[in-house]
Structure 1
Amino acid sequence: MKKLLATAVLFGLAAPQVATAAEEVNVYSYRQPFLVEPMFNEFTKETGIKVNVKFAKAGIAEKLQQEGEYSPADVVLTTDISRLVELSDKKLVQPVDSKIIDANIPAQFRDNEDEWFALTLRSRNVYSSKDRVGKLPASFDYSDLAKPEWKGKLCTRSGKHPYNVSLVSAMIAHNGEAETKTWLEGVKANLARKPQGNDRGQVQAVKEGLCDIAIGNSYYLGKMVNDPNQKAWAEAVEINFPGQQGNGTHVNVSGMAMAKYAPNKDNALKLMEFLTATAAQQMYAEVNYEYPVKAGVKRSELVASWGEFKADDVSLDEVAQYHQAAIKLLDEVKFDL
């Protein structure tokens, strides 16, 4: 029997079963296919490891809980710091020890316990009408959104959308709950209409004269510029980076984590390291107009044209701690009503 096994291995008859198990990695992703598939294809080309992806708009944490130790998931890709922290809080991910990832991802943008890592940044900007307002002064800060001069002139999506919850959480981190509540009351008083729609819809509202300023993520401007149906919206606004003389502009992230029961742990680590490397970071930047997390990676030409900015240096771990407090304050001021 030993002789037969040795012969089988020698001629490659036993090898395929081992190779098949070693040459795949399973990903659960909130990120859209067009964003990640080019990177996965490049990863497979370089390593020979096949990437199997399940895309979802919601419910990944619940799915991982239901699957438990039988889950096929190796890596989870998601957007927003709250979703990353949710995976960690529910003990659905595991720590990752990698010198490569640590070297590529600044400490500010990864979990203190190495259970999640940011891959890209998106800034929370204020857009202003080119015709009616122009570029906002360099001193403009988020606190100014509550000033009476903007009464009836501000548009935003729901306060409870993760992008806005994250911004409110950062305000709490800097200023405390009481001051942040007062700020929220002022912002609500300045709204031109009930919070609604998405970030692009706020820029459209500025174009149509419904409001003079609006809150939105940076990468949507890139998307609108390259959409023939929305280009006029983008051309009607200036992009402003609040907090440049204060704490800096609030940033949120897309990120990754290794699933708790990853069956292909070694391949999962290889993929995670690949996603933090220069080539993948550059692809992210070009395709979705986001900011690379790795220092020194070139931004897309369009994003670079928006100018440099100072990002808020508060730890995303700390911001995430105030998620529930932010929701509580939004409820108390009846922000969306």
Structure 2
Amino acid sequence: MCVRFPRLGRLALGLALLVGTLGLGVGPSRAGEEVNVYSTRQAFLIQPLFDAFTERTGIPVNVVFAKEGLIERLRAEGDNSPADLVFTADIGHLTDLVDLDVVQPVSNETLESAIPASFRHPDGKWFGLTLRGRVIYASNERVPPGAVTTYDDLADPRWKGRVCTRRGDHAYQVALLAAMIAEKGEAAARAWLEGVKANLARKPQGNDRAQVKAIKEGQCDLALGNTYYMGKMLEDPEQRAWAEAVTIVFPDQDGAGTHMNLSGVAMTRSAPNRAMAIRLLEFLVSDEAQQMYAEINHEYPIKARVPWSDLLRSWGTFRMDTVDMDAVARHRARALMMVNEVGYNN
């Protein structure tokens, strides 16, 4: 459908001091009376949730925010890490945590009843917290309503020279391709990727917002992007015009549904404050916290029946792809190889 519009080994200690010089660090508190978080998600996205948890429980949440290097830091710290939980976006980053053996399983009835099985690790090694759709952005001026309804349409030769995307090896693109492999097989996924490449208006570049900007400037007419970026652009006076130049298309409504990726959390292998960390996890899947996520981040609650924000509702309801995210994770390596084989970024 379319919608307009501080117990550290020597190496770990060195890393901690390095990050500390960047203004990052975990505040002091007695073990068992705090939760220590490493997060690749920006502070403004999740800090309000931690503040709400602390207000209701009295349990402080100490946070290290960093875009890069937190997984490597966890691996270096090993069993001496002060971190209890790791927050990150995209199934790829969650899978990396599992593959590097820096997280532990959690079995918890509250989490398992709130989060659909397809959006959590089968052994409880990570849990999805919010959802975002990988949608098509279409020019309001140059793409007639209903002209594009599926991901396959992006590979149709009639759109040659009219499609923009970010790099094919970016985690969001890899996850979408991995989902296609899981659902349609490698041959179909490769044919789609080659078709999209043939239709590109320019070399893959920029982030999701940059694709919308390119549509506004007439460089292309169609692009892929995550839903929450639309909300972020509408909030930014300098980017609002970009957002208003496109229509959101939720693909494959007569098929598998729109591909959904997630933000999520995992319990670290060390987790010195495990009991308190589980309390935070339970709070994050409460109706209150899930609704806060939707309002602040323009993401879809992972818990069913939690109301969407007004903005999300304005885009309309749609069918979500329910492919198991663990299956997507298993196909990521092949998807990345496929991107390189077809020379998508060249």
Structures share a fold, TM > 0.5?
A: yes
Say if 2:132 and 2:261, in contact at 8 Å, map to a contact too: yes
Q: Which residue of 1 aligns with 2:82?
A: 72
Instruction: Report how far residue 21 of structure 1 moved.
Output: 3.1
Say if 1:128 and 1:135, in contact at 8 Å, map to a contact too: no
RMSD (CA atoms): 1.1
Per-residue CA deviations over 1:29-66 (Å, capped at 9, x if unaligned) read 01111111111111111111111100110122211110
Q: Which residue of 2 aligns with 1:115?
A: 125
Say if 1:172 and 1:326, in contact at 8 Å, map to a contact too: yes
Give SS of 1:21's match. coil
Equivalent residues in 2 for 1:200-219 (5 A)?
Answer: 200-219=209-228
Per-residue CA deviations over 1:131-160 (Å, capped at 9, x if unaligned) read 1113335x7211111111110000011011
Say if 2:130 and 2:293, in contact at 8 Å, map to a contact too: yes
Partners of 1:135 and 1:129 in 2: how far apart?
Answer: 10
Partners of 1:192 and 1:161 in 2: how far apart?
Answer: 18
Q: Which residue of 1 aligns with 2:107?
A: 97
Amino acid at match of 1:49: I
Say if 2:32 and 2:274, in contact at 8 Å, map to a contact too: no
Identity %: 55
Partners of 2:320 and 2:69 in 1: how far apart?
Answer: 30
Given the alignment, which residue of 291, 297, 301 partners 2:300?
A: 291
Q: Which residue of 1 aligns with 2:23?
A: none
Q: Which residue of 2 aligns with 1:61?
A: 71
TM-score, normalisation: structure 2: 0.90
Q: Which residue of 2 aligns with 1:312?
A: 321
Per-residue CA deviations over 1:267-303 (Å, capped at 9, x if unaligned) read 0110111111111111111111000000111111111
Instruction: Report how far residue 249 of structure 1 moved.
Output: 0.4
Q: Which residue of 1 aligns with 2:92?
A: 82
Say if 2:31 and 2:272, in contact at 8 Å, map to a contact too: no
Q: In the alignment, is residue 126 of structure 1 matched against residue 170 of structure 2?
A: no
Q: In the alignment, is residue 234 of structure 1 matched against residue 223 of structure 2?
A: no
Q: In the alignment, is residue 27 of structure 1 matched against residue 42 of structure 2?
A: no
Partners of 2:52 and 2:297 in 1: how far apart?
Answer: 17
Amino acid at match of 2:95: V
Q: In the alignment, is residue 175 of structure 1 matched against residue 181 of structure 2?
A: no
Amino acid at match of 1:57: K
Partners of 1:20 and 1:70 in 2: how far apart?
Answer: 15
Instruction: Report how far residue 251 of structure 1 moved.
Output: 0.6
Give SS of 2:123's match. coil
Partners of 1:106 and 1:156 in 2: how far apart?
Answer: 30
Partners of 2:161 and 2:345 in 1: how far apart?
Answer: 15
Say if 2:104 and 2:125, in contact at 8 Å, map to a contact too: yes
Partners of 1:83 and 1:246 in 2: how far apart?
Answer: 28
Give SS of 2:344's match. coil
Structure 2 alignment gaps of length 5 or more: 1-28
Would you say how many aligned residue pairs link Structure 1 and Structure 2?
Answer: 318
Given the alignment, which residue of 302, 308, 312 partners 2:311?
A: 302
Q: In the alignment, is residue 193 of structure 1 matched against residue 202 of structure 2?
A: yes
Per-residue CA deviations over 1:94-134 (Å, capped at 9, x if unaligned) read 11111111111111110101110000001000011111113
Partners of 2:263 and 2:305 in 1: how far apart?
Answer: 18
Partners of 2:274 and 2:285 in 1: how far apart?
Answer: 17
Structure 1 alignment gaps of length 5 or more: 1-18
TM-score, normalisation: structure 1: 0.92
Say if 1:27 and 1:76, in contact at 8 Å, map to a contact too: yes
Partners of 1:133 and 1:269 in 2: how far apart?
Answer: 48
Structure index of larger Rg: 1
Q: Which residue of 2 aligns with 1:49?
A: 59
Partners of 1:333 and 1:292 in 2: how far apart?
Answer: 36
Say if 1:203 and 1:234, in contact at 8 Å, map to a contact too: yes
Given the alignment, which residue of 134, 138, 155 partners 2:164?
A: 155
Given the alignment, which residue of 252, 274, 287 partners 2:261?
A: 252
Say if 1:160 and 1:330, in contact at 8 Å, map to a contact too: yes
Give SS of 2:71's match. helix
Q: In the alignment, is residue 223 of structure 1 matched against residue 240 of structure 2?
A: no
Say if 2:32 and 2:272, in contact at 8 Å, map to a contact too: no
Say if 1:73 and 1:263, in contact at 8 Å, map to a contact too: yes
Give SS of 1:145's match. helix
Given the alignment, which residue of 291, 312, 335 partners 1:326?
A: 335
